[in-house]
Amino acid sequence: MEVRIQKYLSEAGICSRRKGEEYITQGLIKINGKVITELGTKIDTSKDKIELNKKIIIAKNKSVYIMLNKPVGIVTTCAKYDERSVLDLIKIKERVYPVGRLDKDSEGLLLLTNDGVVAYRLTHPKFEHEKEYEVTLNKNYTKEQISKLSQGVKLFGENTNPTRIKRVNKNKFTIILTEGKNRHIRRVCRKVGLEVVKLKRVRIVNLRVGDLKVGEYRELTKVELSNLIKSLGISTTMMQS
């Protein structure tokens, strides 16, 4: 990809674009060993070597945070030859990866990023960050069934954590998890005699899918990202490391 030198320096965190222009006119920039003084000069970031005062400059990758409303039938893991992955839906130049997983037959909010710190904080079990799901069942549920789910059930030989459940209607409720075993909600519902016919993730920590349509995606707003970083307990130093 070709970009102007001053933009490259700015994205590398070296200086502002204006300061970069000063470096160029002062003859302090070399491209492939040749001094460059023309402000409009562009470089190919994939092959050109850029030097400032004899130091090679390497641009930092831009951190990207994407919110996707994943459709049913799309996988979040590496797709097989006959499957579509969430990465097939995201048309951006930066390389991002899904944070955690959302089953192929489930839909809703999925975060994709190239920020390893944020991904780690969201997925490591020890941090116990909340994820909220809307659960639709094949039949009406009873108070006893919901009570059992709320208290936790035995799954894979271990008791699941207590959960917060809120009634939506007779066959639909929302559930908040701080853990995420494979097909967790479907499995615990079966334990109490309920079958999930639709599962939608509506929230991850402070991020809500809102009115984002199925299959659509967008970058997080500055406010959303700032609130997420605070909720995850990430410091500025950690973001820069």
Whether 7 and 112 share a structural domain? no
Whether 165 and 190 share a structural domain? yes
* CATH number for the domain harbouring residue 92: 3.30.70.580
Strand partners, 176: 132, 164
pLDDT digits (tens, 9 = 90+) for 205-222: 999 999 999 999 999 999
Whether 219 and 106 share a structural domain? yes
* Mean predicted confidence (pLDDT) in 120-126: 87
Residue in 103, 105, 115, 211 annotated catalytic: 103
How far apart (Å, rounded) are the C-alpha atoms in residues 212 and 43?
37
How far apart (Å, rounded) are the C-alpha atoms in residues 217 and 231?
22
Whether 197 and 152 share a structural domain? yes
Read out DSSP for 53-95? TTEE--PPPPP-EEEEEEPTTEESS---TT-EEGGGT---SS-
The reply to whether the predicted model has a pTM over 0.85 is no
Whether 142 and 85 share a structural domain? no
At 148, the pLDDT band (50, 70, 90 cuts) reads very high
Q: Look at residues 172, 152, 168 and name the one whose alpha carbon lies nearest to residue 160.
A: 152
At 61, the pLDDT band (50, 70, 90 cuts) reads low
Identify the pLDDT of residue 58.
Answer: 67
* Mean predicted confidence (pLDDT) in 39-58: 83
Residue 103 annotated as catalytic: yes
Whether 226 and 190 share a structural domain? no
Identify the pLDDT of residue 240.
Answer: 47
| Domain boundaries, position 174 | 130-204
Read out DSSP for 151-181? H--EETTEEPPP-EEEEEETTEEEEEES---
At 63, the pLDDT band (50, 70, 90 cuts) reads confident
Strand partners, 98: 112
Identify the pLDDT of residue 239.
Answer: 52
| Residues whose CB falls within 8 Å of the CB of residue 57, separated by 6 or more in sequence, listed in order | 8, 9, 12, 14, 50, 51
Whether 117 and 212 share a structural domain? yes
Other CB atoms within 10 A of residue 182 CB: 9
* Mean predicted confidence (pLDDT) in 36-64: 82
The total domain count for the chain is: 3
Identify the pLDDT of residue 45.
Answer: 73
- Report whether pLDDT(102) > 80: yes
